[in-house]
Each structure stands twice: as structure tokens, then as C-alpha cells.
Amino acid sequence: MTDPVTPVTFPPAFLWGAATSAYQIEGAVREDGRTPSIWDTFSHTPGKTLGGEHGDIAVDHYHRYREDVALMAELGLTAYRFSVSWSRVQPTGRGPAVQVGLDFYRRLVDELLAKGIKPAVTLYHWDLPQELEDAGGWPERDTAYRFAEYAQIVGEALGDRVENWITLNEPWCSAFLGYASGVHAPGRTDPAASLRAAHHLNLAHGLGTTALRSVMPARNSVAISLNSSVVRPLSESPADLAAVRRIDDLANGVFHGPILKGAYPATLLAATSGLTDWSYVLDGDLRAIHQPLDALGLNYYTPTLVSAAQEQPKGPRTDGHGASDHSPWPAADDVAFHQTPGDRTEMGWTIDPSGLHELIMRYTKEAPGLPLYITENGAAYDDKPDADGRVHDPERIAYLHGHLSAVRRAIADGADVRGYYLWSLLDNFEWAYGYGKRFGAVYVDYATLTRTPKSSAHWYGEAARTGTLPSPSPETT
Ligand code: IFM
């Protein structure tokens, strides 16, 4: 690792963005023909989210997008990553598009472009149309074909004005939190089905990439956002290193193997052979998945620490992925997860910017020449307005300063990182945790839906405007 870069100044073309996703912010779940997604169903099922909270209104971005874009422009952000709600565009998950649904995204993109903010579209951020789940969901092959059809529709509608495209966000969560541990929608707990889901998500990515390219100008960039884990061993013992291999395969190799190299890791196939024979990987699938990419999106929050174990330790899960009696890691009962040392965010996730540097350097080595974007990074804190209504969040500023400095160090070490999207623009619906975890740079009063930029938003805006990180303290307000 190079010495710290001071002052921390980024290349002039670096994108300074913020990210969100449809179900977490839009609300308006029953408007303009939108039908339920798996997250509407799941969040309205008693006991699935904290306090039974759901995204019916969320932060009402569907009606307040102009205000939200204006806020980004005032702060000086140069890029915005949002996702499209599939069931707003294709209410049954198949067939012709509902134009009024697409019109919302056309207006949003126009608004962004008018303010000089570069849009990046994520096609799928976990909100599968419920009808497709009823037909079997991601464990069914047909869902991948449906995704390709949907990708083509959105590509045709927005491809002339949006250059940066992301097929899937964090397919690991869709497959393993959705179908193995069940802490995410659709809440199934079937490890074999979760591996089938992972394959069909990969296939969806490959077919979706091809579909997008068939209708979009060649200049557009197609990527995927992976929440690639930085997996570290508790000790250097062979057993602990084998535990790292197992979790690395299940977290990373299961996606980047076929996507970047055209094959599932042999060690993954061997470790999971008691659960599945992978016979649903049909001839031609790996070719379809292994499409050349224009960029890779990396989402990073915290590293994972593992060791070998005879059995899982009793008590709350320590892998940071929610409370469930079912593991999100199929065929890994002999791996134990440990708390990493250090300060934590409100999610209980350890703050460790060195993990982001490590992750970037890993992909710089494994996918040489592929431009990288940090498509999510950020922290939840228990932010509250002070007596004057201002929201001071020095911990988030320190978090951002540390992680952006790690990105800058990686660039100095030869990595081609083109941009950073802070998670998240606004406080929003944090899935099974409801509204309790505030990730936003902008505070949202959930009673009035008033938006107030936190001190971190001003700090980040100054970084975006000047290309140099301001000091993390004293606070910029
Ligand atoms: O809020 C989520 C986001 O939807 C996906 N990546 C992680 C974030 C924080 O948990």
C-alpha cells in the first residue's frame, strides 16, 4: 500500500455520486399501475420487518423527485445511481411495458440531465414482481428470461440518455438472504433453491447485458454491482484458510467466477455437492453469462472474519446479515463467523477502510483493465436534529473520509476507479430493519418527509465541488 495521499485529491473526471433504490425511497406503491413486488408482500407479512414497517410511502420520492434532484444539484453531486421498479414497468413481470411507469423514470432522467447530474440506472435492486415469485422466483430459469425482456424495455426507453447501466445490485443478497436465511424477501429458507437462484441471477445478468446492448448505443457502459466480501481468517491455520476459501466462493466466486471468468469455482461445486448437482447449469449458460463488461461496481461496508468450527457458536449471528435460524451460507456449517475488532456503525458493522482498499486491489488484479466504480459505501448512525434543526453527523464524515482516502490510495496504487456513490442520498427504508437505520447524507423527518442535508452532505458536496476531501473535522456545515 502506498503512503497516504495528502491532500486527498481525485482525478478531474472522477464521479461524485449518491445511490438509492426504488423500493427504499419511492413509495407510491399502488400508483400508475404498479403491482406488488416481493418486498411489498414480505414487508406486509407480520414479523418480517422491524415494527412491520414497509415501503408504501417510504420517503415519497415518486412525488418529490424534483426536490431530491435539486438537493443533489445544490450540494454539487455529479452522479446519481437509482433503480427502476420492475413492477412499475411490467406489472406482471412479463409482456408490454406500462408507459406511465416508464414516464416517471424518463422525467427523473430529464431532471438529472438538466442539472448536469449523470444518471446510472440499476435494473434490479431486489424488488421482483410478485407474479414472478408466484411462478417460482429466481430458482426458476424463466425468471432470467423475463429479466432480459424487462432489461430490453428499459434500455429502449432510457438508453439514449443514460450511459451507465447496472444489471443487478448485490445478487448475493437476492439469492442467499432471500432464499436461504429468509431475512429478505421472499423469505424462503431452502439452501438448494438459493444456489439455483444464484445461477439464474447470473444468467439474468448475462442475458440482460446482451438485451441492453441490442437496443442501446455502443457508447453505453454495462456493469453489475457485487457486494463482494473481504473475507479474512481468524488465524493462518490451514483449517481457517479453508474456511476463508469456502466463504469467498459463496460470497464472491459464485458470481465473479461465471461473470468474469466463465466458470464456477471447482471448490464451490465440490463444497456444495451434497446440496445440489448444478444440473440446472445448461449448455451455453456460462457463455451467456460471461459477457465482456464495461465496468464493475463494488459495494463495500465491512470485512468478514471467519474460522473453522465444529458447530456454529450459539447466540446472535455474527456474520452481519440479520437474525435467522437459517444460515445464508449453504454448505458452510463448519465455518464460524466472528466479530471483527474496532468501532462499529449503527448496523453493528466494523469500520475498516483497509477492506475497501483490499477489495479494489483484488479486482484490479483479477480483472485487469476493467474500470471500477464504488457503487455503494456508507454508514448508518442514529442521527437526530439539534435544537436549531441542524443534523450533525461527524461519525459519518469520518467514515466517508476514511473510505474515500482508501479509494484514493488504491488509485495511487494503480487501480482504475472512476467514481464513488455514497449510500445513501436520503435516509430510507432499510429492508428488514425498517426505518430505524439512517444511512442518508440527507436527514428525512418521517412524520413530515422534510429533507435536511446533514453536515456530511455539506462535507461530501465540498469534496464533489473541489475534487479534494475537506478535513474530517472541524465540521463543514
Ligand atoms: O440499504 C442497503 C442497500 O439496499 C443494498 N446495500 C446495502 C445497503 C445497506 O444495508
Given a contact cutoff of 8 angstroms between Cβ atoms, the answer to whether 425 and 65 are in contact is: no
| The pLDDT value given to residue 3 | 56
Label residue 475 by pLDDT band (50, 70, 90): very low
Torsion of CA 189, 193, 197, 200, to 10 degrees: -170
The model's pTM is 0.97
CB-based contacts of 468, cutoff 8 Å, min separation 6: 7, 8, 9, 10
Which atom of ligand 1 approaches the CA of 227 most closely? 6
Instruction: Indicate whether 318 belongs to any domain.
Output: no
Given a contact cutoff of 8 angstroms between Cβ atoms, the answer to whether 441 and 396 are in contact is: yes
Instruction: Indicate whether 101 belongs to any domain.
Output: yes
CA of 392 to the centre of ligand 1 (A): 22
Residue 116, domain CATH: 3.20.20.80
Phi and psi of 177, rounded to 5°?
-80, -30
Q: Whose CA is nearest to atom 10 of ligand 1?
A: 430
Which atom of ligand 1 approaches the CA of 21 most closely? 4
Given a contact cutoff of 8 angstroms between Cβ atoms, the answer to whether 165 and 143 are in contact is: no
CB-based contacts of 6, cutoff 8 Å, min separation 6: none
Q: 315 pLDDT exceeds 70?
A: no
Nearest-CA neighbor of 205 among 248, 267, 253, 150? Answer: 150
C-alpha grid cell for residue 473?
A: 473535522
pLDDT digits (tens, 9 = 90+) for 203-243: 999 999 999 999 999 999 999 999 999 999 999 999 999 99
92 C-beta neighbours (distance < 10 Å), count: 14
Whole-number Å distance between alpha carbons of 232 and 353: 14
Q: 476 pLDDT exceeds 50?
A: no
Share of the chain above pLDDT 70, in %: 96
Whole-number Å distance between alpha carbons of 68 and 108: 10
Q: 174 pLDDT exceeds 70?
A: yes
CA of 348 to the centre of ligand 1 (A): 14
Check the annotation: does 423 bind a ligand: yes
Mean pLDDT of the chain: 96
Whole-number Å distance between alpha carbons of 69 and 77: 10
Which atom of ligand 1 approaches the CA of 424 most closely? 1
| The pLDDT value given to residue 436 | 95
Instruction: Indicate whether 23 belongs to any domain.
Output: yes
Q: 319 pLDDT exceeds 90?
A: no
pLDDT digits (tens, 9 = 90+) for 418-443: 999 999 999 999 999 999 999 999 99
Counting the structural domains of the chain, the total is 1
Label residue 316 by pLDDT band (50, 70, 90): low
Label residue 45 by pLDDT band (50, 70, 90): very high
CA of 378 to the centre of ligand 1 (A): 9
| The pLDDT value given to residue 24 | 99
Instruction: Indicate whether 250 belongs to any domain.
Output: no
Instruction: Indicate whether 332 belongs to any domain.
Output: no
pLDDT digits (tens, 9 = 90+) for 455-467: 999 999 999 999 9
pLDDT digits (tens, 9 = 90+) for 112-171: 999 999 999 999 999 999 999 999 999 999 999 999 999 999 999 999 999 999 999 999
Residue 139 belongs to domain spanning: 8-228+295-301+346-469
Instruction: Indicate whether 162 belongs to any domain.
Output: yes
| The pLDDT value given to residue 39 | 98
| The pLDDT value given to residue 354 | 98
B/e letters for 45-57, b = 16+ CB within 10 Å, e = fewer, are: eeebbeeebbbee
Q: 1 pLDDT exceeds 80?
A: no
Q: 314 pLDDT exceeds 70?
A: no
Check the annotation: does 125 bind a ligand: yes
Ligand 1 pocket residue status of 299, Cβ below 6 Å:
yes
Instruction: Indicate whether 27 belongs to any domain.
Output: yes
Instruction: Report the pLDDT averaged over residues 35-59.
Output: 98
Q: 477 pLDDT exceeds 60?
A: no
Ligand 1 pocket residue status of 127, Cβ below 6 Å:
no
Q: Whose CA is nearest to atom 2 of ligand 1?
A: 430
Ligand 1 pocket residue status of 21, Cβ below 6 Å:
yes
| The pLDDT value given to residue 322 | 76
CA of 284 to the centre of ligand 1 (A): 32
| The pLDDT value given to residue 311 | 61
Q: Whose CA is nearest to atom 1 of ligand 1?
A: 430
Instruction: Report the pLDDT averaged over residues 250-275.
Output: 98
Which atom of ligand 1 approaches the CA of 380 most closely? 9
Determine what percent of the chain falls in helix, strand and coil, rounding each to the nearest 5: 40, 15, 45
Label residue 256 by pLDDT band (50, 70, 90): very high
pLDDT digits (tens, 9 = 90+) for 373-423: 999 999 999 999 999 999 999 999 999 999 999 999 999 999 999 999 999
Whole-number Å distance between alpha carbons of 329 and 50: 23
Instruction: Report the pLDDT averaged over residues 236-258.
Output: 98
Active-site positions? 170, 376
Ligand 1 pocket residue status of 376, Cβ below 6 Å:
yes
Ligand 1 pocket residue status of 170, Cβ below 6 Å:
yes
Instruction: Indicate whether 320 belongs to any domain.
Output: no
pLDDT digits (tens, 9 = 90+) for 70-80: 999 999 999 99
